[in-house]
Amino acid sequence: MAVDPRTPVVVGVGQVMTPPDAGLEPAERPEPLELMVRALRAAAEDCDGAAPGGAAPSGNALIRRADSIRVVVPLGWRTANPALLVASRLGFEAGAEPAQLMLTAVGGNAPQALMHDACRAISRGELDVVLVTGAEAMYARALARREPSLAPLSWASQAAEGTPTPVPFGVEKPGATDLEMHRGVLLPVHAYPLFENALRAARGWTLEEHRARIGSLWSRFSEVAATNPGAWIRTPRPAAEIVTPAPGNRMVSFPYPKLCTANMQVDQGAGSIVCSAGAARGAGVPEDRWVFPLSGADANDHWFISHRPDLHRSPAIRLAGAAALELAGVGIDDVAAIDLYSCFPVVVQMAAAELGLSVDDPARPLTLTGGLTFGGGPGNNYTSHGIARAVGAVRAQPGAVALVTGLGWYATKHSVGTYASRPPAGDGSRPFAWRDVQPEVDALPQCRVDAEATGPVRVETYTVTFDRDGAPERGILACRTGDGSRAWGNVDDPDALALLCAEEGIGRTGVLAAGGALSLDG
């Protein structure tokens, strides 16, 4: 096909996993570095359509001429410059590594945002071949902690002194304000239930209706995971099992038991090779392996939860999604394959609403992997797996378009990209297109916060956290004061916590004391 030689193409994707039943001691299981390298080796084989372990002359040629190695920062392994270690394991001699060695900030949006950045650099002629990879071995770490008598983990490391600093990508910034953290919003399992319960109230669902919808959605995700060879959990789960607390499925934060949360304890890696069409052709990559990133858009919602007027909505997803589709020259109904970031059910529901998707269309599931619960949630790198599956989907359906979203922090950072087996504009005359919609998001109203609020308030949304034995610990409540400002409170009374899990708490009134203690009326 006649394609501008600066058009970026994804020519190889690789996914690797060490399953839980591999029969290996913790120290024998591959470390994150090894998983990253294996994923890139698999991506090289994929360039040539080779079976695992097969010849990959085109893919290996591209790896050898890489300009950039980009690593999605792991959560379970920290070292000064992981991309430098990846380069060494790939066979680059010391001092002859790719000129650009990059490490991302924390955030599940990073793999898709990295893809956008790589495609733009390739389109401008600044880079020719980019390797993107990431991995986690949190399952191995958990096993090692449970069995301290076994050989300890000994993973690769570097001394900070004397190791070249990687090129940073993304913004490192706390996900919550001091006030939010003081009231208990410390982890995703504290933040996302706030959005989920706000969504329930906005839709007018009862608690039982809401539970049934969550269970049905996640059950469909488990069915997709059952068909994904790279999924961590490949047993379909019925809806009632997913939302019913039980041994092995303890309550975490209302309304979520464990099977509704991201599964971080996995040993998984993924990688991709993206290059210019000219480099792909020069290396001899067959054109039926080429997948074209058509477009992308990125934006953050108002960074802190406290400042967002509606906690069940994401203007950034709406605006980024609309921009990505417009730039690709397609509508949402033209998209055949979809992978929405899915750390918790509410994220899928929010994104579907903003993008104009049905959450229960059997002909068009909203995940290609099974999601972060069943497909696996390897830290910041999940979306690399979504991209890999999207590449496979459009190869299998010539002419089809896929859409992939990534998300970071507390539904804060968003990245939306489209992919197809055809070039942009259909004739290859226009390379990848990207838009920053941040100015549009920043122009939207923000909620006023009253950190010192006391007196009468109305509950806007809430969650109840549980200890590891399944007992309710603490209520975290976002409230509105009489003048509409947002305030944060906590409930510790056991009877009140039980009632918040059994009856709708949104809309209830109460009195907020100094320090955040909230007494609910009635």
Dump the DSSP string for 489-516. Answer: EEE--HHHHHHHHHS--TT-EEEEPTTS
Q: For the domain bounded by 455-520, which CATH number is listed?
A: 2.40.50.840
Measured CA angle at 139 (ends 166, 19), to 5 deg? 110
pLDDT of residue 426: 62
Give pLDDT < 50 ranges for the chain.
Answer: none
Q: How far is CA 290 from CA 9, 41, 122, 297, in A?
A: 6, 17, 15, 21
Contact 499, 475 (CB under 8 A): no
Cα(340)–Cα(366) distance, rounded to whole angstroms? Answer: 6
Q: CA 246, CA 109: separation in Å to the nearest integer?
A: 32
Q: Return the DSSP state at 430.
A: S
- Specify the CATH class of 8-174+264-442 in words: alpha beta
* Residue pair 130/3 in contact by the 8 Å Cβ criterion: no
Contacts of 235 (CB under 8 A, 6+ apart): 222, 226
The pLDDT, as a whole number, for residue 511 is: 98
Whole-number pLDDT of residue 121 = 97
Domain ranges of the chain: 8-174+264-442, 455-520
Regarding pTM above 0.85, the answer is yes
Task: Give the integer Cα–Cα distance in Å for 387 and 337.
Answer: 11
Please name the residue ranges forming H helices in 342-493. 345-355, 371-374, 382-396, 438-442
Structure-token pair, residue 255: 């309304």
